[in-house]
Amino acid sequence: MQLTTSTKEEQISMRTRLTPRITPRITSRITQVLLAGTAAVTAVLALSVAPASAVTATFTVSPGGSYTGSAGTTTLTDTTTGSALTCKSATAAGTLKSGSGLSGTGIGTITSTTFTTCTGPLGLTFTVKQSGTWNLNITSNSGGVSTGFISAVKASLSGPLCSATVTGSADATYTNSTGVLTVKPVSGSGHTLTVSGVSGCLGLINNGNTSTFNGAFTISPKQTIT
């Protein structure tokens, strides 16, 4: 059956009326909904992968302020050669921040130290002198014990036919109940002391060698860190 021109025009007109029309306004609204949905999904994903380290621990120190510390025997040991520098006594002085909500980074300083009657290899007498300000840092606190490290350490060692410089950082803990700052190495912490500027020393210490430091300083006034 053949359609007349009139009939064809009527069918085209009917199809046009039945076909839904998407106006620019509707298209714009659909686009807005899609973009909003994409943004929401992105935000959820960003929150789900946020690193736990974004939360920084804070600490409370009392009373803070100026302090002094005294220690008995302290020992600096070259981990490669085993050579040790032992001092019969030592002192330290510096300041601690006071209050709550404190960052553990740079929570205190060591501005001066003294090391007395220091004997090195072969019984040689050495002098140990601090350079610059050393920084106290806390990374965690549990059961009244603060764990952290001393950074920006720099000290010169000098004795007969031997001198050197030690720089780096050293592990430390502070115990509220005893008021003692204990400095000793922690395996795998990444905090190391490195020897440089060696002059003489007969191979007992060498440039690039790492060293460990051990000592226990009683702090006055006693501090409470939580």
pLDDT of residue 25: 53
107-156 pLDDT tens trace: 999 999 999 999 998 899 999 999 999 999 999 999 999 999 999 999 99
The pLDDT tens digits for 2-53 are 444 455 455 544 454 444 454 555 445 544 544 444 444 444 333 334 333 3
Rounded distance, CA 208 to CA 205, Å?
Answer: 9
pLDDT reported for residue 121? 87
On whether the CB atoms of residues 76 and 213 are closer than 8 A, the answer is: yes
Closest CA to 172 of 194, 195, 189: 189
* Contact between residue 62 and residue 72 where contact means Cβ atoms under 8 Å apart: no
CA torsion through residues 81, 82, 83, 85, sign:
positive
CB atoms within 10 A of CB 93: 15
Helix (H) or strand (E) run with residue 26 in it = helix 24-48
d(CA 61, CA 107): 9
Reported pTM: 0.76
Write out the two tokens for 94.
């510096």
